[in-house]
Structure formats: C-alpha cells, structure tokens
Amino acid sequence: MRKVSIIGAGHVGATTAHILALKEIADVILVDIIDGLPQGKALDMLEGRSLEGSDSNIVGTNSYDAIVDSEITIVTAGIARKPGMSRLDLLQRNAQIITSVIESVVQNAPDTIILMVSNPVDVMTYLAYKRSGFESHRVFGQAGVLDSSRFKGFVASELGISAKDVQAMVLGGHGDSMVPLPRYASVSGIPLHELLPDTTIERLVERTRKAGGEIISLMKTSSAYYSPAAAVVQMTEAILKDKKRIVPASAYLNGEYGLEDIYVGVPVILGAKGVETILELKLNDLELKALKDSAAIYRDALNKLGLRK
C-alpha cells in the first residue's frame, strides 16, 4: 500500500483517514498532539476493517517519526471555525500551529507532497510553502474541490437530478470572496443558463459562498467535515494514481491571471508530481476582477503575518 500521513486527528483528519482506508487508497498515519486521540480513532477504524472489506492499515501516533517516507502529507491541524467567526479570524493562532507542523514534516518527510486543509487555507498554504522550502508544485491547498462540490450539489437539488451529471468550477479564495463560474457550469453538457433562470443561479452562487457558515450555524460546535474530507480524498487519489484530474486548488501563482507570489484557487492538473499544470481560463472582465479581489484579501492577510513585503 502507498503511505499517506494526516496531521490533525480532528473531525476532518479522522474522516479523511477513514475514507482513504475504506477505499483502500493508502495506508494511513494519523498524527495529533493530544495523547490517545489518534491512537483511539485509528484503533476504532482498524476494528471495523473486516466489516468494511478493507486491508488498509491505520496507525495513530503523537510522533512525527511515523510519517517518514509518506508520499502525501495532509495537514488538517488547527482550530476550527465557530459561529460568528470568519476563516480569517483563525489567522494568528493557526499560523503558529502550521509553522510548527511544517517544521516537523520537513524534518521527517522531506520528499513528501503537502496538501493543506487548515483554514484560512490560502494563507496557510502560502505559509507552508515558505516554511517548507519545497517547490510550489509540491505544496497546495484544498478548497476549490469542496466549494465546487457544494455548488454542484445545490444545482442538482434545485433541478432534482443526479449530482454526478453536474459540472462546475469555483475559483478564488476559500471564503465569502470565492468566485463560482456559472458560465462554465453545465449538466451533462447542457449549459446551466439553459436550465435555470439567472436569479436562481445567483441564489445558488450566494449559497455556495456561505455554505461553510451555514453548516456552522446549524452544528454550533463544529464546522463541516464529511464533505471536506471527501474533497481531500479525491485530490489524494488523483496524486497517488497519477490521474491528471482537472480540479480547482489553491496553487502558487507567478504571473498567471495577472497575479504573482500568492496562493489562490485556480484550475490545475493534478497528478503524481502534485500541481503539474495551472490552467488559465479565458475569464471575462467581471470574473477576472472577482478573482483578483479575492486574492487581494489574502494578500492583506499575508502582510499581517509578515510573509510578504
């Protein structure tokens, strides 16, 4: 089996571990600083393997020594949003946590690919890139896959159809400034604008932007984790199986879309090397402005952390 490590045994990390093992995508190392938490969750999952028909191994540990030779390291560590908090409210605390995590990852798995999930993900991915010293194609963030899945799900529910038949792309930062692209959305090849009126599409776009907050307001003590974990698994599988999937990811831009030295959600080709290609869509003026406005929010956050001059 291939080896994947997950840093953070909270809801997102543990659910990701479970799905990876359930689908036999990889053996999983689950790391957390809380004594007994990763060990207990890993043991619980192991005890269900015979029922689920999986032979993937899951190890829970408090030591980074176990992540040696991991092909992918998924970082979910950090504090989660609570009602009334924005993703940027997590900035300072999670920056401290991620700095420590990345130092340990680099020390123990210098050849790994880093997939960031911790919020605010576009900022934390840039921080991981800077602190790791890795090539940018080996450090990227998950957000657009989740946001696109949410948009697809809302469209499918509105039309009363299978979500499998919906294609959609959401760019920009993982927050209220994200940039859903209805012009690129379709259902089995049929442009979305031929199936839904503009007012309905705009309502679904706005719900997509606020989807994470909607879940938090309902759950009160937790943010989303089933759908984020599913998004992480899709990206992980694309890398391990070199699928060359075209997905939106928080990737390092160096001139693409007129943006430089910033991580923000854009379409990429995801394969064995990580982000193998960044695709530049022909955005109209409004879409490009929205993408640049989204990036500007995260540039300001990076300035607050002293990561950019």
Catalytic residue set: 174
Q: Residue 301 CA to chain centroid, in angstroms?
A: 19
Query: What are the residues whose beta carbons fall under 8 Å from the beta carbon of 106, sequence distance 6 or more?
Result: 131, 132, 133, 134
User: With contact defined as beta carbons under 8 Å apart, do 247 and 267 qualify?
Assistant: yes
> HSE of 61 in the Cβ direction (CA atoms, 13 Å)?
12
Q: What are phi and psi of 289, to 5 degrees?
A: -65, -40
For residue 57, give the H/E element and its range: none
User: With contact defined as beta carbons under 8 Å apart, do 165 and 192 qualify?
Assistant: no
Q: What angle do CA 282, 118, 133 make, to 5 degrees?
A: 75
Q: What angle do CA 232, 235, 240 make, to 5 degrees?
A: 120
User: With contact defined as beta carbons under 8 Å apart, do 198 and 205 qualify?
Assistant: no
User: With contact defined as beta carbons under 8 Å apart, do 267 and 89 qualify?
Assistant: no
Helix (H, G, I), strand (E, B) or coil at 112: coil
Choose among 173, 170, 231: nearest CA to 205.
Answer: 170
Helix (H, G, I), strand (E, B) or coil at 280: coil
- Rounded-to-integer distance, Cα 295 and Cα 289, Å: 10
Choose among 196, 195, 183, 165: nearest CA to 287.
Answer: 183
Exposed / middle / buried, residue 80 (Cβ in 10 Å: 0-12, 13-18, 19+): buried
